[in-house]
Structure formats: C-alpha cells, structure tokens
Amino acid sequence: MPTYEYKCDKCGYVFEEFQSMNEKPLSVCPKCNGKVHRLIGAGAGLIFKGSGFYLTDYKKSNTSPATSNGDSKQDKSEKPKTEKPAPASKQEQPK
C-alpha cells in the first residue's frame, strides 16, 4: 500500500497517509477540518538488490591505475611479451 502526502488548504498542514490504492483520497484536514488535496509525490526511490551495482562488484581489470588514465609508461628493462605462433597443422600429402 502506498503512502500519500496531503496538504490542507486552510492551515497549510502537510501530512502523510498510508492507504490502499482503491480508497478515495482524503478530503478533510485532521487538525482544522479544512479541505485537503493530495500532493504529487516523487514516489519511492529505486532499490537495487543483488550484485553488479557497485564499483567493487565489477570485474577487475588487469590494468594498473597508471595505465587506466592513458599514461602508459612501461619499464625499459621489461620487454613486451610476445605470443608464440601457433604450430602449423599437418596437411595431408596427396598420394
């Protein structure tokens, strides 16, 4: 059941009322018996449940903080790693 916010036109009293969506809106102020109108609310905030919503939940990258901002400085004593070529597959010889 939603919570509705009301404001009295006579005294300016603002209050919330927890009521069913099928109920008619309130029309009388509980303080001064003046006329009230329902305010337009922002609704409930989003609730994220589960993983994947925080920075710590994302997959870790292999880059260091220095390389993530574009300042990629590699140590000159360290040679870049190269991959070995895949071995050639044996092809059938025509008979």
What is the spatial distance between Cα 27 and Cα 4, in angstroms, rounded to a whole number? Answer: 13
Residue 67 has φ and ψ, to the nearest 5°, of: -85, -15
pLDDT of residue 28: 96
pLDDT in tens, 47-65: 676 666 666 655 666 665 5
Res. 3 pLDDT band, cuts 50 70 90: confident
In a domain, 55, yes or no: no
User: Per the domain annotation, does 8 fall within a domain?
Assistant: yes
Q: Which domain does 34 fall in, by range? A: 3-38
**Residue 94 falls within a domain, yes or no?**
no
In the chain the first and final C-alpha atoms are separated, in Å, by 82
pLDDT value at 27 more than 70: yes
On whether residue 29 sits in a domain, the answer given is yes
- The reply to whether 52 falls in a domain is no
Q: How many domains does the chain have?
A: 1
Please choose, from the candidates 32, 45, 46, 47, the residue with its C-alpha nearest in 3D space to the C-alpha of residue 15.
Answer: 32
69-89 pLDDT tens trace: 555 455 555 666 666 666 666
| Domain presence at residue 32 | yes
